Amino acid sequence: MSVEGFGSKGLGGLFVLVLGLALTCSAQAAPPGFRPPPVEQMGPDQFRIGKVQVDKAHQRMVVPGVVIRLEGPLEFLGVTRGSDRGYEALLELDASAFEFNLGCIMIGLDDKNAKPSRFHFDPDPVMGDAVSMRVGWVKGGKTVEVDASQLLLLEGKRIDAATWRYTGSSFNTNNHYLAELDGVLIGFAHDPSSIIEHAQGLAIGNYGGVMGNTELAPPIGTPVYISITRIEQ
């Protein structure tokens, strides 16, 4: 594998980068059973981690997935493939938590800027690097792409364009990576396991307040992709 695009860090820097996805705190050791996901270079500043496509130059990553649920209650925009939390998620993304988080790191997101949720339904705002997210799919031979928040309804009403924050998820006392353990990637119920969270949270303390926007979202089973871009601040 070529390491062009990692500058003077070279192979050593790539190893540190890959290991870094599992170490939200430098003092922590790698989680039990952790194996860094392979990174394949596709071109200048273009990489692939499993099915996750990374464009370092534009600080953007694209992850394929599928619509798995539209009715409420929803707490997650996206979960990992095969996740047990799919019953409360709009999308299942074709990525593990490690692959997804490494993609986030490679587009410049840094958990040092994060203030994640302390517990499920934490009412305090989430802090962290900001990202924009768009979901796309093919309809009638043409690609449709919308802001991710437009696919959700809060108490039956459309949601304004949201601010999403990168937290990187957390580790439990046994040093297990919560995003991988719980199979969650993008949430809005302020769950400490999520890698990306809605800044203010949706329906905090009102379980069942969020559902899919069936007037806009494609049917269950539709292949989609989610594009995540770092927002300069």
Could you tell me the two tokens for 112? Answer: 């040092």
Inform me whether the pLDDT recorded for 5 exceeds 70: no
Per-residue model confidence as pLDDT tens digits over 208-218: 789 999 999 99
| pLDDT value, residue 21 | 45
**What is the rounded CA–CA span in Å between residue 182 and residue 159?**
26
| pLDDT value, residue 36 | 74
Inform me whether the pLDDT recorded for 196 exceeds 50: yes
| pLDDT value, residue 18 | 52
Per-residue model confidence as pLDDT tens digits over 41-72: 999 999 999 999 999 999 999 999 999 999 98
Is 0.75 topped by the overall pTM?
Answer: yes
Inform me whether the pLDDT recorded for 92 exceeds 90: yes
Domain spans in the chain, listed from the N-terminal domain onward = 50-230
Mean pLDDT value of segment 135-162: 92
| pLDDT value, residue 209 | 87
CB 145 within 8 A of CB 220: no
For the beta carbon of residue 93, count every other beta carbon within 10 angstroms.
26
**What is the rounded CA–CA span in Å between residue 192 and residue 206?**
18
Using CA atoms, how far residue 98 sits from 15, 34, 95, 201, 204, in Å, is: 14, 9, 8, 24, 27
Query: 199 or 12: which carries more pLDDT confidence?
Result: 199
DSSP 48-87: EETTEEEETTTTEEEEEEEE---SSP--EEEE-TT-TTGG
